[in-house]
Amino acid sequence: MYSLSGRTAIAGIGATEFSKDSGRSELRLAADAVFAALDDAGVAPAEVDGLVTFTQDANDEIAVARETGIGELTFFSRVPYGGGAACGTVLQAAMAVATGAASTVVCYRAFNERSGSRFGRPSTGLGAEPSSLGAEMSWHVPHGLVTPAAWVAMVARRYMHAYGATSEDFGRVAVAMRRHAATNPAAWFHGRPITLEEHQRSRWIVEPLHLLDCCQESDGAVALVVTSAERARDLRHRPAVVTGAVQGSGAGQMMMTGFYRGDMTGLPEMGVVARGLWEMSGLAPADVQTAILYDHFTPFVLLQLEELGFCARGEARDLVAGGGIELDGGLPVNPHGGQLGEAYIHGMNGIAEAVRQIRGTAANQVTGVHNVLVTAGTGVPTSALVLSTP
């Protein structure tokens, strides 16, 4: 494995205000986030020579460069698989910097998801496309499996059957995330915690998922500045050193899950990433002070805790019920409120939160932070990071 440990760092973070109707185009949102990240790092647009984003981002890299005054580019790339791309953008940026393909790379993601084109909208035409995706979806669409919530619900139901988990176990994740968001001024649900009773009363989306098991829709953008660890030390803020960065896919992987794998009670792709992450970083779960876990749907938070080694299979519900993921627990999860509470920017806002935790400037700062684990979208080929203090 090519090791990136300690060679690069995130030196700047920037975000727009998270809203439900930004009134700005996705290009404007992306440009504003890039400007904010460059200002945060103290880097001029002309110093940027690389751009990385998601395959699903509507903004062409050249358009973003033109809009922000970025000049010549020696590196640009796009990472696929939706939210699974989030940490992958930093991985590719770090690889570019470590290998000399670029000196300063900006990663960005912009969404007009709420007021523009709604992400994850069902499309029954997917199963008719003359492509590998069409062939895959042709097995799902006739049975009504046309949304991410439906795909996750299948795995969640099997997990419940295997380990005795309940809807209340999933609900405790939602309650914790909303409690954290309630004290984060940047969160959309700032000042609006929920109770487990409110979670249980929220309407069904796809059983066993209630509305409050599902992440919100958001308008907004996030950008990150990645450069060498050496250069980052001379910039404006304490850098978040990239100690580990890994992408991975599980056997029998499909777009959002693997319905034909022998075991549907886990997330094997996250297991692949976890093994690589611990190997590259030289760390173990016990070395992590806080985790930013991709919480698009609450059941997959439980499965991630298990795949990453924070508890044994089937025991995540006990960890959550015992307050283990709360701000004062053994492993605070998503101190910013995550995508359930802060905003859904495909996980990029979680990476920004990890940087704030390393800097010691987070709204809900965890004490004694040296290493932060960040995961990207789950159920898809995915990615993860460990960010550390210098």
Residues assigned a catalytic role: 294, 344
Helix (H, G, I), strand (E, B) or coil at 226: strand
DSSP 3-state of 31: helix
What SS3 state is found at 287? helix
As a whole number of angstroms, the distance between CA 322 and CA 303 comes to: 17
Tokens 């090791």, located at residue: 3
Residue 297 DSSP code: B
* Integer Cα distance of 174 and 138 in angstroms: 32
Distance between CA 381 and CA 383 in Å, rounded? 7
Q: How far apart are CA 280 and CA 248, in angstroms?
A: 14
Backbone angles phi, psi at 322, to 5 degrees: -85, 10
- How far is residue 270's CA from residue 260's CA, in Å, rounded to a whole number? 17
CB 156, CB 340: distance < 8 Å? no
